[in-house]
Structure 1
Amino acid sequence: MSNTSFSPLTGSTATPTVPAPRAPWRDWLALAVLMFPVLLVAVDNTALTFALPSIARSLDATGVQLLWIVDAYPLVLAGLLVAMGSLGDRIGRRKLLLIGSAGFAAVSAATAFAPSAEWLIAGRVGLGFFGAMLMPSTLSLIRNIFPQPNRRRLAVAIWAAGFSGGAALGPIFGGWLVEHFWWGAILLVAVPIILPLLVLGPVLVPESRDPQPGRVDVPSIILSLLVMVPVVYGIKALATHGLAPEPVAAMGFGLLMGYVFIRRQRALLHGTREQGGRAPNGKEQSAAASPLLDVSLFGNRVFSTAITANVLALFSFNGFILFLAQHLQLLEGQSPSESGVAMIPALIATVAAGLLVVPLVRKVRPGFVVAGGLLLSAAGYFLVAFGDHSHGPGILLAALLVLCLGVGAAETISNDLILGAAPAEKSGAAAAISETGYEVGSLLGTAILGSILTASYQRNLHLPAGLGEPAAGQSTGTATAQAGETLAGAVELAQSLPAPLAEAVTAAARAAFESGVHVTAAIALVLMAGASVLAAAALRKVPTAR
């Protein structure tokens, strides 16, 4: 049996560095242990949002403080993903995972009993710091535990399934904990989830690292923060407040720092190659600074297209969830946990699709599977764009099911292509890029599609004549003005009005919102269909799995 494999990064065959043989059952037990931090991060991403009303009452938090309670975690997380992925390559991915897990559990326990909003915000910053160590470490360890492509592909599918399952459980689990205990229980539960990893991880999970990592380049870490934090902040601010100078300036500054960051990475990479793996004094390369991110990876069509597909898959999913959650909770009157339960069949479809495409890529080229997944996402948006939503959420939930089948297929194979395209010794950095794409795709889906939906709603809303339109320059603090800005404001206004007028306000808000959903879905449909064509063209030469 040949010991060579096809590399989509170079387009040639190469002899991989194979870890010492292990019993297969140990590999799958190691994967099971790695699922604990994956589930934790996935649940934590969605659960706390549903505890905000309880937090506001308990800590007397202001609106600005609530915003930072939500935003502090993803800002720090996104800013440090690349740095932590590269650090794991240097010091050991298992070591970084265990440090991050212990820190995450400790900060979660301390934050669960936060006596003030400021304490909770600081805790969320700490969770973002340690959380950035978790996801890239798990994915890069999978790359090294399962060097054989077919087994790795199945492991990645299980990893993605765990993340999707955790995201589905987040709203339900968080709502249940808040109803039966207090908001801090959502954070405190991190301790028992992490304990199995801390006990079994050192025994079952093998250590792996870059054999010649190079010295950590601190300026590159600072630059990566100056890139991601302003960009993520700008995207979130645009989604919340619309077009304004502050978020545009933040994004502009982040993009400028991105240009500086890329130039520095190229210079460091060029210097490393000129030295041929050794520093000028003849010592090993570890004595010289090396790039935080190997930007040459993006020059490979397979790697860059897989990253783009990953971003777009999450873009389509989070953009869809944005207006589906509003429809279920504000127009159908469901509670957050009830709406979470309604979405479970579609999220199960995400898991099933991710697992089913593993044997499929042995017969169908991976690029066509990714393209097919994106096309299914487009089909989901087609159902929304041209469907009638006035008779309940049936069409929207069916569309979510179709979209989730596509997301599960595209995300699993794109993640596998990302890991397969990167050298094993750089798997931590590659996994961090994949995770950064996840964060950016999620934010862009909410910001772009959310902004389109909000603008369309505001343009098409016609309040009843007896109520009056919000006058120009009227304070946005009034109920009428809030109804003109968001569906939630209209529903709140309707609850304070007598029945005939309340029904008229609700009908007007529903019509404006559904009109916005149709427009938003049509734009997303065109975008996802185009992405499907591009993925099929760019990845058409990637061979079927063997």
Structure 2
Amino acid sequence: MFLINAPVVLALLLAATVLLREVRATRYGRIDLPSLLLSFAGILLFTYSIKSAAAVGFTASQIVVGVVGITALALFIRRQTKIAFPLLDLSLFKDRIFSIAILTGLLSLVVWSAAGYLSGIYLQSVLGFEVFTAALLTLPGAVVLTATCIGTSRIVERLGRKAALVATHFLISAGVFVLLFTTTEAGAIAFVASTVIAGVGYGLSFSLVAEIAVSAVPPERAGAAGSIAETSNEIGNSLGITLLGSLATLVFRLSGPGMAGTLNETLEHAGVTAQAVVQAKEAFLSGLHLAVGVGGLLTLLVGVVAWLWLPRKLPE
């Protein structure tokens, strides 16, 4: 099924040789292996520590792993300021436009991945929808997201880059806040409304972030800016599950029936009672509400900061 992408990629490669303008850097560097190892170890160990703490609580080994991970990330950041050709060019973050753009890409994927992951479990394990039915409920949001990506240029022409970037945060925030109206008995309509509203914000973010980030830096740094923008999306996707997903897991562990670590494991437990099922579903929903509430507040806060901090007209 992956072969369906082959014609699109081939067309892109052929068109790129004709349409893309070449920008040559004034200097060339090489990949710094210690930076790669530090970033890989730091992210992996930090993620493992957070998820373990949420699932089973703090232990001596978990704390040690977490400290080692944070230390590795700190050493990675420090190394980027010392070497001539860093993997992460921290100097670019001195530009507030670039910083807000990257934060937008990071945060939108944090919320998107967490809300999508938790909502999928909610639809199937709490409301009891079949996988196919749950998938159908995601289609309106997916259509809106895709249409927004395609129509972002027209939206920007009408609103301007700054207003479109700020709207990204407000729409995502408003969309995920709709999930707070879901219950253990009903929530399909709220879910569809949430994905439609937030889908506009996600579509704007996916189309705008790299464009604004690249335009905010000198042409010779465009490659670094574009790679950071793409990396922010990938890291945001992972952090959404790690941080907000772990927050939901923690709530379930503290307020659930205590029979298993997840909702699905509890529902499949041999000795589960009707009361335990109700408690487990309510605990999961509380975790979902807290996770999307935190994500929505963060996007709302960054939207306000962007509105107040960014200049009225952003570079083209």
- The TM-score range, normalised by the shorter chain, is 0.7 to 0.9
Spell out, residue by residue over 1:147-200, the C-alpha distance to the aligned partner (whole angstroms, 9 max, x if none): xxxxxxxxxxxxxxxxxxxxxxxxxxxxxxxxxxxxxxxxxx4456336645x5
| 1:518 equivalent in alignment to 2:313 | no
1:113-512 maps to which residues of 2 (within 5 A)? Answer: 189-190=1-2, 193-194=5-6, 197=9, 203-206=14-17, 210-218=23-31, 221-238=32-49, 240-242=51-53, 244-265=62-83, 268=84, 290-461=85-256, 463=257, 480=259, 482=260, 485-493=261-269, 496-497=270-271, 502-512=273-283
Question: Post-superposition shift, 1:408?
Answer: 1.3
Report the residue type matching 1:356 in the other structure. G
In structure 1, distance between residues paired with 2:210 and 2:314: 16
TM-score by length of 1: 0.51
Spell out, residue by residue over 1:409-435, the C-alpha distance to the aligned partner (whole angstroms, 9 max, x if none): 233222210121233343332221011
Match of 1:532 among 295, 303, 314: 303
In structure 2, distance between residues paired with 1:307 and 1:437: 6
**Is 1:378–1:403's contact at 8 Å kept on the other side of the alignment?**
yes
In structure 1, distance between residues paired with 2:24 and 2:50: 43
Question: Post-superposition shift, 1:544?
Answer: 8.3
Report the residue type matching 1:229 in the other structure. F
In structure 1, distance between residues paired with 2:188 and 2:132: 16
Report the residue type matching 2:267 in the other structure. V
In structure 2, distance between residues paired with 1:364 and 1:347: 23
**Is 1:239–1:450's contact at 8 Å kept on the other side of the alignment?**
no
In structure 1, distance between residues paired with 2:36 and 2:315: 38
Tell me the number of residue pairs that the alignment of Structure 1 and Structure 2 aligns.
307
**Is 1:453–1:517's contact at 8 Å kept on the other side of the alignment?**
yes
**Is 2:126–2:184's contact at 8 Å kept on the other side of the alignment?**
no
Gaps of 5+ in 2: none
**Is 1:230–1:253's contact at 8 Å kept on the other side of the alignment?**
no
In structure 2, distance between residues paired with 1:342 and 1:238: 34
Distance 1:355 1:192, change over 3 A: closer
Question: Post-superposition shift, 1:438?
Answer: 0.6
**Is 2:96–2:310's contact at 8 Å kept on the other side of the alignment?**
yes
**Is 1:235–1:247's contact at 8 Å kept on the other side of the alignment?**
yes
**Is 1:419–1:427's contact at 8 Å kept on the other side of the alignment?**
yes
**Is 1:373–1:406's contact at 8 Å kept on the other side of the alignment?**
yes
| RMSD across aligned positions (CA) | 2.7
In structure 2, distance between residues paired with 1:379 and 1:341: 22
Task: Indicate the residue corresponding to 1:116 in structure 2.
Answer: none
TM-score by length of 2: 0.85
Question: Post-superposition shift, 1:377?
Answer: 1.4
Q: Pick the structure with greater CA Rg.
A: 1
Question: Post-superposition shift, 1:530?
Answer: 0.7
Secondary structure at the aligned position of 1:264 is classed as coil
Question: Post-superposition shift, 1:258?
Answer: 2.1
| 1:541 equivalent in alignment to 2:309 | no
Distance 1:365 1:240, change over 3 A: same
Question: Post-superposition shift, 1:311?
Answer: 0.6
**Is 1:235–1:444's contact at 8 Å kept on the other side of the alignment?**
no
In structure 1, distance between residues paired with 2:38 and 2:295: 27
**Is 2:80–2:86's contact at 8 Å kept on the other side of the alignment?**
no
- Identity, % of aligned positions: 21
